[in-house]
Structure 1
């Protein structure tokens, strides 16, 4: 089996860290449970300049390395890898953040997972010359059996895989979003993801 796994807010608690940055930099005190939009500029009511500052700060290597792991993520993924399954971390972070992202994975026991930076959202403006090591045309040639995502904006990247089973990690910004089809399942966390995979295919 081949697994697509998003990085931010699937493997690590990125949005929680961004709420702290928004408070520290701009006095925007928005509790995590009130982050209603995947677009953080909208959630924190930021100007374009403030949003650029927020994204730049949140993607500094030392800040990326400080993000806390989503409970159970590395444990479940390592169990899959131990069973011979392939895990691909496909993040919307520009490749400028690849080294720090790769180090984070390694430090959290996920050195066997493959990492790609894919231009999912076209928001690399804050890097000025952002690049990606996986182009969309190449991504669309890849196939997966399962996907773990949190962003409704990413669902369109699964349209070419009608048999894909998508596990949507429950987050404040996706709770009001209707899931696109019966192959999508909302999960409270990694333990439920594991249970769903076991129930579907008995591979763990």
Structure 2
């Protein structure tokens, strides 16, 4: 089978990592309970920032957020390595900006994710992901972002959502832990 995975907030806990960095940089101590209750992807409102202020802060900290010690979700790396060991093809499809392509691919490799040649796609907009997913003729695709998942509904693919506070309204097959992946794939 061919399986596609978003990276940020699907395989790695990027927003929570950024939340900790925001607390540190802004000298605040906003609790994780606030993070886990956020109804949207953006974290700036938890810190009293406007959308514009939040965008500027994210941009100024992007390298630190992306390439420091961001945790993978438990069992994500192991689940993907098991898929590859069983002969499945794993593809990464991320909307990170194009200038982050090489460093993101290397970060995945350095952190033990299986990245085969030609199986890593980076530098497209969220709306362009659908074209890559369609061209790859994936059997499964995993993402956290509701707007991305909505663009895939017309494809003959099993779409799965990585459980996050901002996507709980979706009625798609949901993965809360990567340990669930084998069960989810069995139907």
Q: By the TM > 0.5 criterion, same fold?
A: yes
Count, aligned residues? 180
Aligned to 1:178: 170
Query: What is the CA distance between 1:146 and its match in structure 2?
Result: 0.5
- How far 1:139 moved relative to its partner? 5.0
Does 2:180 correspond to 1:192?
yes
- Counterparts of 1:27-176 in structure 2 under 5 Å? 27=28, 29=30, 31=32, 32-42=35-45, 44-60=47-63, 62-65=64-67, 66-113=69-116, 114-117=119-122, 118-120=124-126, 137-161=131-155, 163-175=156-168
Instruction: State the superposition RMSD in angstroms.
Output: 2.4
Gaps of 5+ in 1: 122-133
Question: Relative to 1, partners in 2 of residues 1:192 and 1:38: Cα closer, same or farther, differing over 3 Å?
Answer: same
TM-score normalized by the length of structure 2: 0.83
CA contact (8 A) 1:71 1:190 kept: yes
Give the SS at the match of 2:17.
Answer: helix
Query: Any stretches of 5+ residues in structure 2 without a counterpart?
Result: none
